[in-house]
Amino acid sequence: MSAPLVVVLATGNPGKAREFGRLLAGACEVRQMPPDVELPAETAQTFRENARLKAETVFAALRGEIAVLADDSGLEVTALDGRPGILSARFAGEGAGDEANVAKLLEELVGRDDREARFVCSLCLILPDSGGAGAAGRALEVDGFSPGTITIAPRGVDGFGYDPVFQPDGWTKTLAEATPADKDGVSHRGAAARALLALLADGTAARRGVGGCDAADHGTAEHATAEHGA
C-alpha cells in the first residue's frame, strides 16, 4: 500500500479542516496551513475560480514543495436567484458569523414557498511537479453538489455554516442534526472528495493533471463532478 499523499489544506476554517481530514482519510494526510501563510481575497466570480486562486496562492507560498488542496463552497438558493452563492461566508456582511448569515437567509425567505437550495463545493488540488520546488505544479479540479431545502428555523447543534437550516433531499433532519458519517455521505464536500479520490486513483490523471492543465494556466480545465446519491 502506498503512503498517503501529504496535503496542506488552504483554509483557516477549523470545521472544514476536520471535515476534509475525515473525507480524505487513508488516501491523504491532511495538514493545517502554516499560520504565516495568508489566503488571497476571494475576488473571482465562481466557486471553481476561487478554489484555484486559493490553491495557487498557498502552493506558491510553500514554494511548490508540497501538495495543496483548496475549496470554495457555498449555498445556492433558487428563490434568491442563486444567492448567497460565492458570498455565502459573508452574506450578512464582512466579518459576519454563521448565526448572522443564517438569520439573514431566513429573513429573505420569509413568506416564500420555494425553499429549494443546493450546496456546491469546488476543489482544486495542486500537486508538486517533477521539476522540483518552484515548478508550476499540476492541478486536479472537481465539483460536488448536495440538493435539499431550507428549513423554517435552525435545528441541530453540530456542523457549521448553514448546516442547521439545510435539509438534504430525502431527509427529515438537517445536516446539523446528523452524525459526521451520515453528513459525509450526502454533503457537497463529501461528493467532491469522492470525485477527487477517484481522480487520484487514476494514475494517468494524477500524472498529467486534469485536462493537462498546470497551476500557472488560468484557462478552463476539465472538471469531474459528483452529486450525492450518484
Tens of pLDDT along 195-211? 999 999 886 555 444 43
**What is the structure's pLDDT at 1?**
54
29 has which bridge partners?
A: 6
Give kind and range of the element (H or E) at residue 104: helix 98-108
Q: Which residues are catalytic?
A: 72
Count up the domains in the chain and report the number. Answer: 1
Residue ranges making up the domain that contains 163:
5-227
The H or E element containing residue 182 is helix 180-186
The pLDDT of residue 211: 31
Task: Indicate if the pLDDT at residue 220 is higher than 60.
Answer: no
At 217 the pLDDT is: 30
CATH number assigned to the domain comprising residue 98: 3.90.950.10
What pLDDT score was predicted for residue 19? 86
More confident residue, 17 or 1: 17
pTM of the predicted model as reported, rounded to 2 decimal places: 0.83
Residue type for position 39:
L
Rounded Cα distance between 150 and 141, Å, is 28
Q: How many CB atoms lie within 10 A of CB 7?
A: 21
Q: What proportion of the chain, given as a percentage, has pLDDT over 70?
A: 84
